[in-house]
Amino acid sequence: MKNKRVIVIGGAGAIGEAIVELLVVEGAAVVIADHNVDTAAQLAQRLSTGGTVYVAQIDITSEESVAAAFAESTRLLGGLDILVNCAGVIDEVPLSDMPFARWQRVIDLNLTGVFLACREAIPYLRQAGGGRIINIASQVGQRGRERLTHYAASKAGVIGLTKALARELAGERILVNSVAPGPISTPFEATLSEETLRETAKALPLGRSGVPAEVAPTVLLLAGDVSGALYVGQTLGPNSGDVML
């Protein structure tokens, strides 16, 4: 990752933080783009002694905010080589009880935000002569899950977007892939009901959930010049065996 210029959207979250930390350790210059700039700034401060880390505020549901965040981030970095889309939200409710606003919020944050960020990144990656887009999806988008229909739909959409965009851009040396983590022990997961967590844990062949530091290496693999060179439109699954493809 030496001299690579990276934007991690949602980099102040638990999985995002692990990704940022690993990329910085490996030599990348990273912008943590997040709506929570205070948490992002604390992370940047912690990592600044070992690498180059910046912070940019972003609202991934706003075209104007996404454009402004990319303009500021690429100014700080001097360009862009890698985009990691790691922002998102989860919300548990049966479909029959789901207000439209709750559906729309999850779709906006998990899927439309990825579209906006990918679209904004493409001109910068073209200027660099190629690069990587890595979208964080979820195994729920592959297998479905009761009471998480809106979340499953949004993450399945991310996987479909990844495949289609990969076909559009591979000829320009811009490789697009996704990572679909399984259950990961984070505050994000802790918002789910005890019933959902219990059922999920029981179904895992590995017998345990993962932790954020076990997801980040998959992003590093896809981002690497050699290690990620043949991955095009793929979805890799650090998921404790929950989904086997």
CA–CA gap between residue 60 and residue 66 (Å, rounded): 6
Catalytic site residue 151?
yes
CA–CA gap between residue 204 and residue 195 (Å, rounded): 15
- Which of helix, strand or coil describes residue 142? helix
Of the residues 54, 124, 151, 231, only one is catalytic, namely 151
CA–CA gap between residue 72 and residue 186 (Å, rounded): 29
Q: How many residues does the chain have?
A: 245
Nearest to 187 by CA among 197, 178, 179: 197
- Which of helix, strand or coil describes residue 205? coil
> What Rg do the C-alpha atoms of the chain give, in angstroms?
17
Nearest to 28 by CA among 242, 229, 210, 223: 223
Dihedral (C-alpha) 194, 213, 12, 109: value to the nearest 10 degrees?
A: -60
Most distant pair of Cα atoms in the chain: their distance: 51
CA–CA gap between residue 73 and residue 69 (Å, rounded): 6
Nearest to 33 by CA among 22, 47, 43: 43
Strand 5-9 to strand 29-34: parallel, antiparallel, or no bridges (unpaired)? parallel
Active site (catalytic) residues: 151
